[in-house]
């Protein structure tokens, strides 16, 4: 019986670290911008309709993402993605 292969992943290359650092920098910039916009709109009031549509947008976005992920897993499980 053959011995199982060692499936450890090799360490990240320099390019991989550069991509991770670039993505973290983009995330930090997006968070900084979101905080700046959020605090600049401190005195703005939102109506009940605004809150309703904000919540509906969040729910619909979540459902679309979950549905697409379900399709990806279904496709992979049933060998449709060959």
With tokens 């697409």, the residue in question is 68
Q: What is the pLDDT of residue 1?
A: 57
Note the pLDDT of residue 7: 66
Residues of the chain scoring pLDDT < 50: none
Question: Cα separation of 69 and 65, whole Å?
Answer: 6
pLDDT (0 to 100) of residue 3: 61
Residue 81: CB partners within 8 Å, gap ≥ 6?
75
Q: Hey, where are the domains in the chain?
A: 13-42, 45-82
CB 41 within 8 A of CB 35: no
pLDDT of residue 2: 60
Prediction pTM value: 0.55
Enumerate residues 6+ apart whose C-beta is below 8 A from 80: 74
């Amino acid at each position: 019986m053959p011995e199982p292969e060692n499936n450890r992943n090799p360490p990240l290359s320099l390019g991989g670290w550069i991509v991770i650092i670039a993505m973290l920098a983009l995330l930090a910039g997006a968070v900084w911008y979101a905080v700046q916009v959020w605090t600049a709109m401190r005195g703005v009031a939102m109506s009940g309709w605004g809150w309703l549509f904000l919540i509906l947008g969040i729910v619909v976005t979540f459902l679309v993402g979950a549905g697409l992920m379900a399709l990806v897993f279904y496709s992979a499980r049933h060998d449709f993605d060959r």
